[in-house]
């Protein structure tokens, strides 16, 4: 009748490895593994692309904000230089009044060190330096020390 020898035990243990349902299960696990791996790769690549686009947008917005702030500062400096040139021409012959007016103009926003030097226009020329103002109006040249 039933022989339960070691050969029967071995054939029973290897029989399930060679069975069609086991092989089909292994194939299904491989396919599921590939689907999971490709899904993870797809999600990560989409997330990376979205992150790069977001970073680019943030960088562009930050750049635009910096440019706007620099334009505002440049406009202030241009207005200050124009007003100082007008005052320099108007008060070219009274250096004492220029010594009182120019420091007040330079300290309007608390940024006295913002303008270190420069010139405005060919004639009259107003040069602003840290400690002095030079006004040239035609043949007359005045240098006023502010310190």
Angle between helix axes 20-90 and 95-106 (nearest 10 degrees) is 170
H or E element, residue 73: helix 20-90
Query: Averaged over 62-87, what is the pLDDT?
Result: 86
pLDDT in tens, 113-143: 555 555 444 444 444 444 444 544 444 444 4
Q: What is the pLDDT of residue 106?
A: 74
CA distances from 64 to 19, 53, 68 (A): 68, 16, 6
Closest to 123 in 3D by CA, of 94, 89, 76, 80: 89
Looking at residue 30, its pLDDT comes to: 96
Q: What pLDDT is stored for residue 85 in this prediction?
A: 82
**Mean pLDDT across the chain:** 74
84-106 average pLDDT score: 81
Among 143, 131, 138, 133, which Cα is nearest to 81's? 133
Please tell me the distance from the alpha carbon of residue 108 to that of residue 21, in angstroms, as a whole number.
87
Q: 134 or 80: which carries more pLDDT confidence? A: 80
């Amino acid at each position: 009748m039933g022989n339960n020898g070691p050969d029967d035990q071995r054939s029973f243990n290897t029989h399930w490895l060679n069975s069609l349902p086991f092989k089909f299960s292994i194939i299904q696990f491989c396919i599921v593994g590939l689907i999971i791996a490709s899904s993870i790769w797809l999600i990560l690549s989409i997330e990376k692309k979205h992150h790069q686009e977001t970073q680019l947008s943030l960088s562009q917005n930050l750049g635009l904000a910096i440019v706007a702030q620099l334009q505002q500062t440049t406009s202030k400096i241009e207005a200050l230089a124009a007003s100082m040139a007008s005052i320099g021409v108007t008060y070219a012959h009274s250096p004492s009044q220029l010594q009182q007016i120019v420091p007040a103009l330079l300290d309007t926003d608390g940024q006295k060190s913002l303008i270190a030097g420069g010139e405005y226009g060919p004639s009259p020329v107003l040069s602003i330096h840290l400690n002095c103002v030079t006004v040239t109006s035609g043949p007359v040249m005045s240098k006023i020390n502010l310190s």
